[in-house]
Structure formats: C-alpha cells, structure tokens
C-alpha cells in the first residue's frame, strides 16, 4: 500500500470528503464493534467468579489454572509442532510453485492454480471431511503426521500470496545483468531471486503460521484423540463448562498473536 | 488479501533470464493433487455411494439416493414426499450469507473511505487496527462475540436497567451478528485498497464543476471503488456460506447452516455419503457464485483474481 504524492497533494483541499457526514461516526462505531468483544474477553479473564458473566473481584487465578493445565500444554505443543512443520513445508513448496509457475504452459498453470486456489474458495469443512476420507482410505493414522500434511496443503495458498505479489513487481534489470555477466540459472536463483524475495517469503511464512495455529475445522476432523491442537481443545472447553479459564487462555493467545505481529513488523522495518 | 482485482495482466514472457524451470512447480503440484485434489474427488465419489449398514464410511455400491434424499423423504409406508429440511438449511446458509455481505458492505464503504482520507500516519495505524483481527483466532473472536451477546452479557445488563428483555444467543440474530463480526475486516480491507488508490482530485474536479455531494458519490467514488467492493463481496460471501463456528457457537445448533449439517453427518449422524452429497452441493453453489462474481468483474474489463 503506497501512499505517495497524492496524499500530500490532496490534503487541505478536500474538506468535503474528509468530513463526509456519517463517515466519522460509522468508522468509530466499526472500530468499537471490532474490539469490544476482545476487550471484554480480556477484562473477564481477571474475574475471580466461576460464572463468566458475573463480575466478582480481580484475580489472576485463572491464569494459574491455565499454566497448571497439562492438557493445555500438550495441546499447545501439538499446535506449535504442527504449525512449525506446516509453515516450513508450505513456504518451501510455495516458493517452488511461485518460481516454477512463471514459465509453465497455460494448461499446466490452470490445473496448478485450481489446486492452489481450492482451499481459498471451497469451504474448509468440505476439505476437512475429504481429507478425513483420504486418510482413512490410505491408512494414514489420524494424528500429528496427518495434521501436518493437511495443514501444509491449505497453508500453501496463503504463503504464496505475498511471494507472487512480490514476484510480479520485481525489476528485471538485475536478472538481465546477471545473465549477461554469465551467471547460470542456479546462481541467479541463489544470489538474486531469493534475496529479493526474502521479505515476501518471510511474510508468507508468517501468514502460513497464523493460519495453521488458528485452524479449527480441519484439525477437529483429522487430529484424532491423540493430537488435539489448542483451538480444538479450547472449542471443547467452551462446549463443556465455560469458566474464565477460557478467557485467560484466549487473552494469552491474543498476546501471542499481537507480539508475533509487532515482532514481524519491527523485523521488516529494520530490513528496509 | 486473498482476492485482488487487477486490470488484465499481460502473459508472463517465457524464458526471461533468471526464471527457473517449470519443473520446480511439479513437486508442489503433486503434493496438492494428493492433499487437496484427492480429498475433493473422494467427496464426489462418496456422494454416489451407499452408507454401510453399520459403522462409518461407505459401501461401494453406486446410488443416487443421497442426492434424492436432499429433497425427497421416503416414508415408512413407501410413499414419498417433498422434504424441505435440507432446502431450508441451504436457504438459511444463503440468506445469512447475503445479510452478512450486505451489512458488512454498508459498514465498510464509509469506514474505508474515512480511513483513505486520513493523514498518512493515522491511516497506517487505522489499517493496522482493521487488519489485526485477521490475525486473531476466529474461534476466540466468535467466543468474544458470544460473551457480548449472552443474556447476562454487557448488552443484556444494560438493557436490563430499562427492563428490556435481551435474549438473542442461540437464535438466528446471534449467528448473523457473529458472521458480520468475523468477516467485517475482509470487506473493509479490499475496499480500502481501492479507495486508497483513488485520486481524490477527481472528486474535487466534480465539486468544482458543480456536482452535488450525492452525485459525486454515485458517479465518481462508487465506480472507482468497485473492484474493491467486488473483492470484498467474494471474500465475505464465500467463507460465510461455508461457515461452521458461528452457527455452532452462537446459534446453538438451532440455526444449522450447511457446514454444520455436513459436519454432523461425518460425526454423530455417521452418514458419510449423504454428508458428501451436501458437500458437493456446497461446492457447486460456491463455484456458481465465483463464476457470477467473475462475470460481474469482466463486464468492466477487470479480472477478479481469487488467488
């Protein structure tokens, strides 16, 4: 998103559009709408009462419960393991796909794009039950390995998005120069293409990790009893007894997402 | 985000220096054919098979019964009657998704325009604020919405002061509200991306030439954010149609959408073939919608890239 010279030019003169009636309250309402449920979850994670909606007094005991809960720790471990493997594999495959697709023939490209696009368009529930069918037909045991395969598959399109966007913007001059100076394909890939793509690859990996860690539906069907991931565990908690412990773990996850995002922002800013 | 509307791009030239061999894409394609292609194929095949007399899975006997069962009920005495249960489920999913799309659109246009007309610094912060929910688990966001709309939640407590009864949880309004809440950023961001590229001097010129405010909106602003609107509609409607968590957690199972019924058939109901038939129907509806959106975009010479 580049806000270049139009921003400075348009300021000052556009009194009319800037203060368009109704836009301002609408915007603040939407921001309030987007954040109030999250703020509510965080506040009520500090509620000492067992009953979620009744405020008793300030307490951090639910956080203690979360840290003592070995099921949560196991689920978190599963989520991180699956997320890590799915991120590495999907990013690697996305880079290969992005580079290979550039020179692919029309028909092959259409098939590839249909496969890559499928997880974005087709409802996750359909792919989830289909994957369940596949694993049972082929005899893949329901568990972490299967989860890693399934997560890698639906993370590929997300990892691919920033890589493809960057690839289409790349200036061709360095490639031509390198080629004129006698670099072979492999050298160009290692010394030019990959370094230029690095920020996009990083962004793609981050996106893939977020998608994998958040995934509920596929994990719900494919995890089996042994490989429960954190979202699947939390879903079970919400279904059975809702105590502020759910709020506490949600708050911790909000903190985690927030810090990953801020961290990546700082890393990317440093690079520039 | 996932769908970007761009003007038609020229075909990538072949064999530019530094471009890797297309062979590089073979491994990802083979992997995706296995992990995405085959599961979809399995669903299509299963939808034409019989359910085993006991247990889960399928019996390898060809049948069209699953598709018939979507619309027709066979009674014990052998007569058949129109079965509206699943038509209602499909209608519910469609109707909720349309309401969600319309409401998010109405909310997003002013917000996107408002953000696009802020100063650069404030604008970046606002975009970050709208993007942040995308990184937060949908499960947690839906749970947050459930606490907000619960009978004894903040809204209920506030209305309780005035003795107004508030009870929408486990009913359709809660599901729809949850869908709107979860998918709103998917509408704001693409519209903002279009609005941000909009040259506001065009609006100024229109003012200077004497256009009224609403004329400027209708003739200048709306057409120029159209690509973003089309992307936004696709990005909200498609996932809403196949959504599972909102009707499960907020509708309380009383307002089933297609995904919930599919999940149930692969879970407790143990009818994989029938669940597959519903899934095929959902795929067909989704693809139909994609075609319509692409048609809408192409009429204007734009190309909606859903990938």
pLDDT tens digits along B224-265: 888 899 999 999 999 999 999 999 999 887 668 999 999 999
Q: Is the pLDDT assigned to residue A43 strictly greater than 60?
A: yes
Contact B28 A125 (CB under 8 A): no
Longest Cα–Cα distance in chain A: 74
- Partner residue facing A129 (CB), from B12, B114, B275: B275
pLDDT value at residue B159 = 87
Q: What ipTM does the predicted assembly reach?
A: 0.87
Contact A130 B279 (CB under 8 A): yes
B92 burial type by CB count under 10 A (0-12 exposed, 13-18 middle, 19+ buried): buried
Q: Are strands B72-74 and B80-82 parallel, antiparallel or unpaired?
A: antiparallel
Task: Using CA coordinates, name the residue in chain B closest to A130.
Answer: B39
Q: What residue ranges do the domains of chain B occupy? A: 4-22+85-305
Task: Give the domains, in start order, of chain A with CATH numbers.
Answer: 16-62 (no CATH), 71-271 (1.10.3720.10)
Task: Using CA coordinates, name the residue in chain A closest to B127.
Answer: A1
pLDDT value at residue A131 = 96
pLDDT tens column, B60-117? 889 888 998 888 887 778 788 888 889 999 999 999 999 999 999 999 999 998 998 8
Contact A100 B26 (CB under 8 A): yes
Lowest mean pLDDT among A35-39, B10-14, B177-181, B298-302: B10-14
B219 burial type by CB count under 10 A (0-12 exposed, 13-18 middle, 19+ buried): middle
For an interface test with B, give the residue of A19, A36, A130, A255 to mutate (most B CBs within 10 A). Answer: A130
Contact B25 A152 (CB under 8 A): no
pLDDT band at A216 (very low <50, low <70, confident <90, very high): very high
B191 burial type by CB count under 10 A (0-12 exposed, 13-18 middle, 19+ buried): buried
- Partner residue facing A103 (CB), from B22, B204, B275: B22
For an interface test with A, give the residue of B33, B41, B144 to mutate (most A CBs within 10 A). Answer: B144
- Partner residue facing B138 (CB), from A104, A108, A214: A214
- How close A157 comes to chain B (CA, Å)? 7
Q: What does CATH list as the number for B4-22+85-305? A: 1.10.3720.10
């Amino acid at each position: 998103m580049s806000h270049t010279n139009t921003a400075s030019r348009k300021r000052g003169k556009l009194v009319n559009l800037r203060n368009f009636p109704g836009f301002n309250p609408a915007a603040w309402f939407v921001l309030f709408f987007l954040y109030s449920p999250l703020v509510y979850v965080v506040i009520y994670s500090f509620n000492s009462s067992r009953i979620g909606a009744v405020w008793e007094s300030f307490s951090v005991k639910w956080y203690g419960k979360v840290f003592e809960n070995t099921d949560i720790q196991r689920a978190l471990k599963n989520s991180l393991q699956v997320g890590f493997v799915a991120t590495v594999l999907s990013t690697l495959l996305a880079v290969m796909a992005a580079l290979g697709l550039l020179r692919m023939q029309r028909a092959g490209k259409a098939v590839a794009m249909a496969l890559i696009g499928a997880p974005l368009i087709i409802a996750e529930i359909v792919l989830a039950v289909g994957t369940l069918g596949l694993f049972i037909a082929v005899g893949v045991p329901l568990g972490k390995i299967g989860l890693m395969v399934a997560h890698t598959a639906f993370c590929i399109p997300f990892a691919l998005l920033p890589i493809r966007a960057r690839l289409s913007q790349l200036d061709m001059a360095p490639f031509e120069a390198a080629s004129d100076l006698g670099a072979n394909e492999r050298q160009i890939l290692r010394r030019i293409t990959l370094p230029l793509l690095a920020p996009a690859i990083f962004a793609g990996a981050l996106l893939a990790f977020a998608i994998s860690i958040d995934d509920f539906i596929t994990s719900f069907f494919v995890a089996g009893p042994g490989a429960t991931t954190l979202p699947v565990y939390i879903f079970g908690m919400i279904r059975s007894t809702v105590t502020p412990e759910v709020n506490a773990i949600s708050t911790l996850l909000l903190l985690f997402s927030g810090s990953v995002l801020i961290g990546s922002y700082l890393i990317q800013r440093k690079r520039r | 985000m996932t769908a970007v509307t761009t003007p038609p791009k020229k075909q990538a030239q072949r064999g530019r220096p530094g471009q890797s061999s297309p062979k590089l894409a073979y491994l990802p394609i083979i992997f995706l054919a296995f992990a995405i292609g085959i599961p979809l194929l399995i669903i299509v095949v299963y939808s034409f098979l019989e359910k085993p007399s006991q247990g889960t899975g399928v019996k390898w006997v060809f049948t069209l019964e699953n598709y018939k069962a979507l619309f027709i009920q066979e009674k014990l005495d052998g007569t058949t009657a129109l079965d509206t249960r699943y038509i209602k489920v499909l209608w519910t999913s469609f109707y909720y998704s349309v309401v969600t799309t319309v409401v998010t659109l109405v909310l997003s246009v002013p917000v996107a325009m408002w953000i696009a007309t802020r100063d650069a610094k404030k604008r970046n912060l606002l975009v970050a604020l709208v993007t942040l929910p995308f990184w937060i688990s949908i499960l947690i966001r839906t749970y947050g919405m459930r606490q907000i709309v619960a009978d004894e939640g903040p809204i209920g407590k506030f209305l309780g002061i005035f003795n107004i009864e508030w009870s929408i949880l486990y009913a359709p309004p809660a599901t729809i509200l949850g869908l709107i809440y979860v998918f709103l950023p998917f509408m704001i961001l693409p519209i903002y991306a279009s609005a941000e590229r909009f040259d506001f001097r065009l609006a100024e010129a229109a003012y200077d030439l004497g256009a009224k405010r609403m004329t400027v909106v209708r003739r200048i602003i709306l057409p120029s954010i159209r690509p973003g609107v089309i992307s936004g509609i696709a990005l909200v409607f498609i996932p809403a149609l196949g959504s599972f968590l909102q009707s499960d957690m907020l509708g309380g199972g009383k307002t089933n959408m297609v995904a919930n019924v599919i999940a149930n058939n692969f879970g407790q109901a143990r009818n994989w073939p029938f669940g597959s038939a519903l899934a095929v129907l959902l795929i067909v509806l989704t693809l139909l919608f994609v075609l319509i959106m692409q048609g809408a975009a192409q009429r204007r010479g734009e190309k909606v890239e859903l990938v």
